[in-house]
Amino acid sequence: MQHVISVLVENKSGVLSRVSGLFSGRGFNIDSLSVAPTLDPSASMMTIVTQGDDRIIEQITKQLNKLVDIIKVVDITENEYIEREMVLIKVSARQEERAEVFRIADIFRARILDSSSTSYTIEATGDAKKIGAIVDQLRPLGIKEFMRTGRIAIARKSESGEPAEKVKVPRPHRR
Amino acid sequence: MELSGSRILVECLKREGVRVLFGYPGGVNLPVFDALYDEKEIDVVLCRHEQGGIHMAEGYARATGQPGVALVTSGPGATNTVTGLTDAYMDSTPIVVITGQVPTHLLGNDAFQEADVVGITRPCTKYNVLVTKVGDLAQAVKEAFYIATSGRPGPVLIDLPKDVALAKTRFKYPEKVSLRSYAPALKGNKWQIKQAAEAILKARRPVIYAGGGVLASNAHTELCELAELTNIPLTLTVMGLGAFPGTHRLFLGMLGMHGTYCANMSIHHADLIIAIGARFDDRVTGRVADFSRAHIIHIDVDPTSIHKNIKADVPIVGDARLVLNDLIEILQAHGIEKMESHADWAAQIALWRAEHPLSYTQNDNEVIKPQYVIEKISEMAPKEAIITTDVGQHQMWAAQFYKFDCPRTFINSGGLGTMGYGLPAAIGAQKAYPNRRVICISGDGSIVMNIQEIATAVEQRLPVKVAIINNQYLGMVRQWQQLFYNKRYSSSYMGDAIDFVKLAEAFGAAGLRATKVVEVEPVLQKAMAIDGPVIIDFKVSPTENCYPMIPAGAAINEMVFADPETPASALAVENVDGVLTA
Ligand SMILES: Cc1ncc(C[n+]2csc(CCOP(=O)(O)OP(=O)(O)O)c2C)c(N)n1
Ligand SMILES: [Mg+2]
């Protein structure tokens, strides 16, 4: 199953490499990764989308927690959450197709950022499903370039109303 | 008053209680060596290779529980530390390594002797940091020692550019560290500890399985108390040997690939395993799918160790000593007298013990057996003697046949299996305890991997004794080739080309040799009487194999006790991992 993990880290050099090194060194997968400073510029938030069974996800979160520069790790997927991703799509649009591009953009509440005689550049935001759908619709017109940010996610509310603990007591489970 | 970075480093080391430093100089760390030149409180030991220096720091740390410190130069000096750092990381050994680095303005320029040391060592250190401002140095040193020694201990590296070592600033020693991103949980969860106590009270076939974490947290007294209070038999990992008296009636011996039959069978048939400061390493579990079906209590300070290889039923994250104290208290309060007696279980274990005890044969007129040498060393060495080993058959025989009764008396490379570890580790331990007997049990292959350090022992007048179990082979490799590769001894024979006696003498140490059984004891006595480093070349049987053994890929209860008649087929074990590695 796919998991979205929020990782609050010290905003200093080498931290990204520690995190990516952990994934590659232990054979974990990164589906997507996005990083930016938080409101407190001394910290950054990484959103990592990864996959694995319970045992692997447990190892990933614990191993991340163990890295010295990591402040907090939350598996957002454990509770209700909202996720978004932004894409920039340059789609070819000859005269007779221009209306079609507008129609698709409208349906998905995407914005046309730029146009040339042969193409439009579209910005769309949404969850994975919506992004998938707009790409499917635009593909027949000819996608020339495609950029995506990787997903970011936010919990609707953490259970206690407080952020989750850094050190989780592992759940007992049966072999 | 303003101090230079080098002076600040030295002042910080002193305040961390560092009395010995293992080092090797080079261009960019000369400022630090200069600051150490007239420093009375820090004894600088010049190793002869940086790998040796790191293993010395490890040996020092393992013998004392205090962090070992090493100082090396940039580039090749730093890359030479990688094996030692990885070794320390695997075996949770607290060391702080300071590497010199090219000046900050040259960083990234492929300067002479520049290497991306922080990048190279990131996966093999618990933490590492490049200090780019002299104002950050004192804090970095304080944090390094704190991180290396707290929680699950490990190696920390500080990369110090030359210009930072030369720059000056006001020195203020940081009295404390607070890291928002690092707070190891030490106190175990009370509720879980109660669950553990209840499981112990109910168990009919319980076993304690303890590892190096018990030594790291100085929990050997509590471990003994728990075992005696509950009368539960106990096995130790290779890293844990010494944490429980080897001569104790409840001791089952080491477990795992070359563990005792009774330890492995006890684990396999137990209904409760109490794992303390151990991590269910693959050399211990054998084939995981067929590992014991016991209920498992797992106590470890590192949360990632829990559920990693084997699922625990009662996971307890915490420091072994603190958790054991709580556990013992709860057991005493909650009717230890009501505890199930394990009479049947004890009887069963006694049968296993009798069925396949550790054994070998030695006739006086035969060639010396390696196990005999180790038994003699064990008989002659004082209880508090420190034994280090290299890696191979001799290491496993030492683990099997030497009776370790005191904590921190067995120092070997468990996780990484680093040949070349033994001699420098012995030097580190002897430096920490000049008055204790320190003996390195080595192999003819391993010893030459860091033989240059005998020069360090001579120069430092450290009376380490090196017993080479000379079987003319990379014995452990030869054993695997005999058993699993149809006796095709590819690149494992070395012969007796090296005259170790002359080699010792060339370095200024004493060299002795034993080729007959009757010579073993006298030669050992003679070595112990010599007041300096001694290398003893024990010419032993080249064909002796280390048993019992769980072949790679086999389950813990599928032990082999002697050379099979038809080797390859008899031991053709379906290997789940697809790899056979010695
Ligand atoms: C640095 C390193 N290289 C290779 C190995 C693989 N290896 C494991 S045991 C062994 C043989 C060691 O020979 P020796 O020191 O003579 O010990 P013996 O097994 O003969 O007692 C080898 C090559 C290793 N553990 N470490
Ligand atoms: Mg050998």
Checking if the pLDDT of A174 tops 80, the result is no
The verdict on the CB of residue B258 being under 6 Å from ligand 1 is no
Checking if the pLDDT of B96 tops 60, the result is yes
Q: What is the pTM of this model?
A: 0.94
Checking if the pLDDT of A119 tops 80, the result is yes
Location of structure tokens 């680095």:
B101
- Whether cis (ω within 30° of 0) applies to the bond prior to A163 is no
Neighboring chain A residues of B306 at a CB cutoff of 8 Å: 170
Strands (E), chain A: 2-10, 32-37, 43-51, 70-75, 81-92, 111-115, 119-126, 143-148, 152-155
Checking if the pLDDT of A53 tops 50, the result is yes
CA of B561 to the centre of ligand 1 (A): 21
Mutate which of A169, A171, A173, A174 to test chain B, going by most B C-beta atoms within 10 A?
A: A169
Residue A69 C-alpha, separation from nearest chain B C-alpha, in angstroms: 6
pLDDT at B542: 97
A residues 77-136 closer than 8 Å to B (CB): none
Checking if the pLDDT of B233 tops 50, the result is yes
Q: What is the pLDDT of residues B165-199, one digit of tens each?
A: 999 999 999 989 989 999 999 999 999 999 999 99
pLDDT at B1: 83
pLDDT at B338: 72
Rounded Cα–Cα distance for residues B411 and B427 (Å): 11
Closest CB from A10, A59, A172 relative to B315: A172
DSSP state of B358: S
Number of inter-chain CB pairs under 8 A, A vs B: 62
**Per mean pLDDT, which of A157-171, B207-221, B330-344 is the most reliable?**
B207-221
Checking if the pLDDT of B566 tops 70, the result is no
Residue A143 C-alpha, separation from nearest chain B C-alpha, in angstroms: 39
Q: Percent of chain B scored above 90 by pLDDT?
A: 94
Question: Which tokens sit at B279?
Answer: 């991590």
- Quick check: A175 and B302 CB within 8 A? no
pLDDT at B192: 98
User: How confident is residue A157, by pLDDT bands cut at 50, 70 and 90?
Assistant: confident
pLDDT at A171: 47
The verdict on the CB of residue B419 being under 6 Å from ligand 1 is yes
Q: What is the pLDDT of residues B343-357, one digit of tens each?
A: 999 999 999 999 999
Q: What is the pLDDT of residues B451-476, one digit of tens each?
A: 999 999 999 999 999 999 999 999 99
Question: What is the domain partition of chain B in residue ranges?
Answer: 2-170, 190-355, 370-539
Q: What is the pLDDT of residues B375-401, one digit of tens each?
A: 999 999 999 999 999 999 999 999 999
Checking if the pLDDT of A96 tops 60, the result is yes
Checking if the pLDDT of A161 tops 70, the result is no
Q: What is the mean pLDDT of residues B79-101?
A: 98
In CATH terms, B370-539 corresponds, of 2.40.37.10, 3.40.50.10490, 1.10.645.10, 3.40.50.970, to 3.40.50.970
User: How confident is residue A167, by pLDDT bands cut at 50, 70 and 90?
Assistant: very low
Beta-carbon count within 10 A of B332 CB: 12
Question: Which tokens sit at B96?
Answer: 């702080």
Mean pLDDT of chain B: 95
Query: In 3-state terms, what secondary structure has residue B179?
Result: coil
Contacts of B462 (CB under 8 A, 6+ apart): B427, B430, B431, B434, B438, B456, B533
Q: What is the pLDDT of residues B411-447, one digit of tens each?
A: 999 999 999 999 999 999 999 999 999 999 999 999 9
Report the topology of domain B2-170: Rossmann fold (3.40.50)
Checking if the pLDDT of B555 tops 50, the result is yes
- Quick check: B192 and A169 CB within 8 A? yes
The verdict on the CB of residue B20 being under 6 Å from ligand 1 is no
B residues 63-122 closer than 8 Å to A (CB): 118-119, 122
Rounded Cα–Cα distance for residues B544 and B369 (Å): 7
Whether A27 has its CB under 8 Å from any CB of chain B: the answer is no
Whether A26 has its CB under 8 Å from any CB of chain B: the answer is no
Neighboring chain A residues of B124 at a CB cutoff of 8 Å: none
The verdict on the CB of residue B422 being under 6 Å from ligand 1 is no
Query: In 3-state terms, what secondary structure has residue B374?
Result: helix
Decide whether B2-170 matches B370-539 in CATH topology: yes
Q: What is the pLDDT of residues B10-40, one digit of tens each?
A: 999 999 999 999 999 999 999 999 999 999 9
The verdict on the CB of residue B582 being under 6 Å from ligand 1 is yes
Checking if the pLDDT of B570 tops 60, the result is no
CA of B90 to the centre of ligand 1 (A): 18
The verdict on the CB of residue B149 being under 6 Å from ligand 1 is no
For ligand 1, atom 3, name the residue with the nearest CA: B419
Checking if the pLDDT of B582 tops 70, the result is no
Checking if the pLDDT of B575 tops 70, the result is no
Q: What is the pLDDT of residues B317-345, one digit of tens each?
A: 999 999 999 999 999 997 777 787 899 99
The alpha carbon dihedral of B532, B537, B538, B542 has a sign of positive
- Quick check: A169 and B189 CB within 8 A? yes
- The yes/no answer on whether domain B190-355 falls in CATH 3.40.630.30 is no
User: How confident is residue B574, by pLDDT bands cut at 50, 70 and 90?
Assistant: very low
pLDDT at B114: 97
Catalytic positions of B are 50, 112-113, 162, 476
Residue B286: C-alpha distances to residues B124, B258, B283, B335, B528 (Å): 25, 11, 6, 36, 39
Pick from B124, B259, B278: nearest CA to B216: B278
User: How confident is residue A1, by pLDDT bands cut at 50, 70 and 90?
Assistant: confident
- Quick check: A58 and B118 CB within 8 A? no
- Quick check: B307 and A170 CB within 8 A? yes
B residues 124-163 closer than 8 Å to A (CB): 126-127, 130, 147
Sheet of B43-46, strands arranged across: B43-46, B20-23, B68-72, B95-101, B155-161, B127-130
